[in-house]
Amino acid sequence: MASYIDFSQPSLWVSAASIVFNPTFWNIAAQQEYHNKVITKLFGGNSRLGCYALAVTIFSLGIFRDYLYNEALADQPTHPTLLSPAIKYSAIPLFLTGNTLVLTSMWALGVTGTYLGDYFGILMDEPVTTFPFNVSSSPMYHGSAMSFLATAIWYGKPAGILLTALVHTAYSIACRWEDPFTGMIYQKRDEERKKGKKGL
């Protein structure tokens, strides 16, 4: 399978770089916002507008990353086994499932919930526990990785499977950082609420 990956293609490395860059960027940006209000200050103290701007940036970077991924696949060899009907068409339910996880999680969280609103102080009243969060702890990340894999299988590109593994790794590392920090934000909010009630 490895012999069907052309590591000499610059597009492969550019795609890999974009996959790593995106979660790195949004985590650094979110941390700067939480600790220093950098983005809110750029928008005249309007935290909600700052969050929307970050949302547009992250969404745009995601579209560009997907474009680079497809460009990379176009430059890569095709493996005949992956083009067999049984394997190729397995990509369809995989892609549909992945996109369902992504879209339903965005619907459940809303714009600010999806795009790091908690770092801006825009918190949800309660954690979302309904679908898709009752089948996956990180449905957007898992769904995105599934869509990457489905695309690789559909086009019969082993390089796409390798890049999908990188997507999964990048998201797994991001989760190890994001989940505890988000938990801390909400724990701090809950503690402040309790203090407020005691002061009444």
Mean pLDDT split into 10-residue runs, the chain, 200 residues: 89 99 97 97 97 98 98 98 97 98 97 96 89 95 98 98 98 93 89 70
pLDDT of residue 150: 99
- State the angle between helix axes of 139-155 and 158-198 in degrees (0 to 180), rounded to the nearest 10: 170
Can you say which residues are annotated as belonging to the binding site for S-adenosyl-L-methionine? 96-98, 178-179
Question: What does the domain layout of the chain look like in residue ranges?
Answer: 9-198
- Whole-angstrom CA distances from 199 to 43, 185, 186 are 34, 21, 20
pLDDT of residue 90: 98
Structure tokens at 29: 């940006």
Question: How many other C-beta atoms can be found within 10 angstroms of the C-beta atom of residue 96?
Answer: 13
| Phi, psi angle pair for 159, to nearest 5° | -60, -35
pLDDT of residue 121: 94
Integer Cα distance of 190 and 20 in angstroms: 33
pLDDT of residue 131: 96
pLDDT of residue 198: 57
Can you say which residues are annotated as belonging to the binding site? 96-98, 178-179
